[in-house]
Amino acid sequence: FLQFLFHTYTTGFTLFNGNGTVKADEYSLQEKQIFYSLGAISYAACIGALPLVFMNRYTLKSSLTQLVVKKILPAPLLGLMSAFTVAVARSPEFENGIEVMDRNGKVVGLSQKAGEKAVKETALSRAVLFGTTFFLPAVLTHFVERAKFAKTPRALASVRMLVMMSVLAGMLPVSLSMFPQCGEIKRADLEPEILSSTEETELFYNRGI
């Protein structure tokens, strides 16, 4: 349930901050994005919870299993599923294309390749943000447990929350600055119809967040 809430929030943020290219069938496109997003959210939540469900179902209680399922797997799974929800929620951008502009801001056409590049960059930055944010606190908390700095479960939970907030605060600007908001794409990488409509060697697009 908590994973479902998390992915619902991040997917809503993704939809709200995607590329704003207007389409003729905007209403049906929004319906399609919402439908895809709900499917992606449900799938991501189930995949994220699957290792723990599997461990409890088959009563795998060894220390190694506990370490892998509770400490190691959650971070990469969350990063991967965060990238997955971005790709699904913004899939119309690389299916229908996004606007590409010249240096003066003049729109020269719609490009599926630019849309694909924008979605890939955003998905990668989201995976790095949440993967790192949940991986580093787990590692640091593990060392705190071994060193016995936190004497009670409440103190350990407070340390974990403090570390997670600190890592998130540090990783957020890193994630946002991994790729520029105004992305660049070479003219040679674009579709033939765009190549014939401009002589610019580099074109630009809004990547979204």
Determine how many CB atoms are found less than 10 A away from the CB of residue 182: 10
pLDDT at 33: 83
Compute the Cα dihedral for 91, 23, 102, 104 and give only its sign.
negative
CA torsion angle 184 189 191 193 (round to 10): 80
Coil, helix or strand for 107? Answer: strand
pLDDT band for 37, please (50, 70, 90 cuts): very high
Question: Look-up: residue for tokens 């600055």?
Answer: 177
pLDDT at 177: 87
The one-letter amino acid code at 166 reads S
The DSSP code for 196 is T
Q: What span, in angstroms and rounded, lies between the C-alpha atoms of 17 and 15?
A: 6
The proportion of the chain whose per-residue pLDDT surpasses 90, expressed as a percent, equals 33
Q: What span, in angstroms and rounded, lies between the C-alpha atoms of 120 and 118?
A: 6
pLDDT at 58: 67
Q: What pLDDT digit, counting tens, does each position of 39-94 carry?
A: 999 999 999 888 878 777 766 677 777 767 777 788 889 999 999 999 999 998 88
Question: What residue spans define the domains of the chain?
Answer: 1-206
Asked if 102 and 203 count as a contact pair (C-beta separation under 8 A), the reply is yes
Kindly report the pTM of this predicted structure: 0.84
- CA nearest neighbour of 99 among 118, 84, 83, 82: 118
Q: What pLDDT digit, counting tens, does each position of 102-158 carry?
A: 888 889 989 999 999 999 999 999 999 998 888 888 788 777 777 777 677 787 778
